[in-house]
Amino acid sequence: MRYRSLSALAAATVLGISGLSADFAIHNGDRVVFLGDSITEQRLYTTYIEAYALTRHPDWKLTFRNVGWGGDTSWLRQRAHPDEGRLFAAEGSALDQMVEDSVGRGLARDVLPLQPTFVTVKFGMNDHSYQTFRPDIFRAYVRSQSEISKVLQAHQARVFLLTPQPIEERRPDPDKDVRNESLRKFSDGLKDLAAKTGAGYVDQFDPYLSIMLGERSRDAKAFIGGGDAVHPGPAGQTLMAWAVLKGLGATPTVSTATIDAVSKAVSTSQCRIEKVESTDGMLSFDRTDEVLPWPIDKAAESSLKLAPVLDDLSWYDLKVTGLPEGSYTVTIDGEAAGTVTAAELRKGWNLSNAAGPVTQQARDLLGHIFEKNNLYFNRWRNVQLSTFPAWATGPDLETRRDAELKRLDDQIAKQEAEIEVLRKTKTHHFEVKAAK
């Protein structure tokens, strides 16, 4: 597997407040808000992070809202529209005043009404202005990120500052791209700031760049992320979610089950095995897991060849000992999950992305999360924030707006109810028999 050489480096560079925490940073009862620019507005890495939290902790009460805005910056350009020429020239108290006004108004409108308890903040791509590093812009970036952290923490929200991912042009040396050199400096500055403010910090720049460089060393035209140079598609954003989740202290274990085909002895973690039968060369049993595996977007499966995504975040293990050598077909509720060898089953087979009803349930859940997030985006941007000329305003307009907001809120609530149902696991019947 090509990703193996990257694992140690990635683990060393994805850092939270004090390294890789054993405790997941998102907690039961959290109201999570994702703040950022167009990469956040894509609702990909954020939806994948949400899906991890919902599948891994099916009994937790959690809500997630995405307020990413294309073209935005840490000084909340798209929400408050400060004079950027003046902002970059300002220092000292003048800079403080401009940043406090811009950040304060943007957060007051789009974030604070959601009463968040946990916020990820992902800026830097537009901030660096796609050019060689500029100290004046960097000064505004650091001051603005500091203000975001200060305001959110004052409202009892835990804050994690995320670096941008690197820009991915089709060149053999993306690390030498002056824009990426600038983004690296912005990311380093963000790390220093997080240490000073008590915010969390996650570096997704280095892991992503390491993967890019590894692939370019094999193929100078390799393009790992999909999408475009700035906006990764599902594969690239799965890698982003992998880096962020590790930085948030996410752990791999879904459940593990070890069954001896001869003695029928069973050993489990986070699942229950019942009705074990081993006759006529077939092993069968019922398995009830406590949680679902992390769903991988079908459009993002290429990411699994680039990084240890499932090893690190979704280990749904089946181990069978005592089988004669050969190949075996594993079915779940009569559906083929895959064909593996006795040696692979002895070692342990990760079924997280295998075919069958378990993976399908997780992917159905992911689909409902996407739908809910799309509904919220429409509610927030196209209805709540819609503005009209003075001649069109009036009580009737606001009455109609309120009715549309309620309609969308009802749809969001319906999706969240479906999500709650899909988070719950079911008992499944497994069979392991020699492949024909």
- Two tokens, residue 181: 């050199």
315-321 and 253-260 as β-strands: parallel, antiparallel, unpaired?
parallel
Q: Same domain, yes or no, for 239 and 348?
A: no
Specify burial of residue 400 (Cβ count, 10 A radius: 0-12, 13-18, 19+).
exposed
Whether residue 264 sits in one domain with residue 161:
no
Model pLDDT, residue 280 = 84
Instruction: Please give the structure tokens belonging to residue 131.
Output: 């050019």
Q: What tens digit of pLDDT does each residue of 192-223 get?
A: 999 999 999 999 999 999 999 999 999 988 99
Q: With beta carbons less than 8 A apart as the criterion, state whether 362 and 293 touch.
A: yes
* pLDDT confidence tier of residue 143, bands split at 50, 70 and 90: very high
**Residue of 106, 65, 37 whose CA lies nearest to 375:** 65
Q: Which of 225, 227, 251, 218 is nearest to 240 (CA)?
A: 225
Tokens 């969308």 belong to 408
* CA angle, 124 then 129 then 131, to 5°: 115
If asked whether residues 184 and 284 sit together in one domain, one would say no
For the cut 70, the answer to whether the pLDDT of residue 406 exceeds it is: yes
Ramachandran category for residue 314: left, alpha or beta (phi over 0 → left; psi -120 to 50 → alpha)? beta
pLDDT bucket at 436, cuts 50 / 70 / 90 = confident
Rounded Cα–Cα distance for residues 38 and 77 (Å): 12
Question: Tokens for 407?
Answer: 């309609």
Domain with residue 123: its CATH number is 3.40.50.1110
Of 212, 247, 282, the domain-final residue: 247
Task: Tell me the pLDDT tens digit for each residue of 304-313.
Answer: 999 999 999 9
Which residues neighbour 432 within 8 Å (Cβ) at sequence distance 6 or greater?
Answer: 261, 282, 283, 284, 320, 323, 328, 329, 330, 345
CA distances from 253 to 7, 315, 428 (A): 17, 5, 19
Q: Report pLDDT for 390.
A: 87
Indicate the average pLDDT of the chain. 94
Q: Residue 401, Cβ neighbours under 10 Å: how many?
A: 14
341 shares a domain with 268: yes
330 and 194, same domain (yes or no): no
Q: Which of 247, 268, 294 is the last residue of a domain?
A: 247
pLDDT at residue 9 is higher than 50: no
Mean predicted confidence (pLDDT) in 118-146? 98
Alpha helices (runs of H) in 220-292, residue ranges in sequence order: 234-247
Asked if residues 159 and 121 have their Cβ atoms less than 8 Å apart, the reply is yes
Q: pLDDT (tens digit, 9 = 90+) per residue, 221-248?
A: 899 999 999 999 999 999 999 999 999 9
The string of DSSP letters for 68-119 reads --TT--TT-HHHH---HHHHHH--HHHHHHHHHHHHHHHHHHHTGGG--SEE
CA–CA distances in Å: residue 384 to residues 29, 63, 373: 26, 19, 15
Residues 92 and 147 in one domain: yes
pLDDT in tens, 149-184: 999 999 999 999 999 999 999 889 999 999 999 999
Q: Are 9 and 207 in contact (CB under 8 A)?
A: yes
**206 has which bridge partners?**
none
Query: Could you tell me the pTM of the whole model?
Result: 0.94
What is the band of 17 on the pLDDT scale with cuts at 50, 70, 90?
very low
pLDDT at residue 47 in the model: 98
The pLDDT > 90 percentage for the chain reads: 90
What is the DSSP secondary-structure string of 316-379? Answer: EEEEEESPPSSEEEEEETTEEEEEEEHHHHHH-EE-TT-SSHHHHHHHHHHHHHHHHHHHHHII
Whether residues 185 and 299 fall in one domain: no
Residue 3 has pLDDT above 90, yes or no: no
227 lies in the same domain as 189: yes
Count of positions (residues) in the chain: 436
Do 267 and 209 lie in one domain? The reply is no
How many domains is the chain partitioned into structurally? 2
Domain that holds residue 258: 252-436
Range name among 9-23, 363-377, 392-406 with the lowest pLDDT average: 9-23
Q: What is the dihedral of CA 235, 46, 39, 104, to 10 degrees?
A: -170
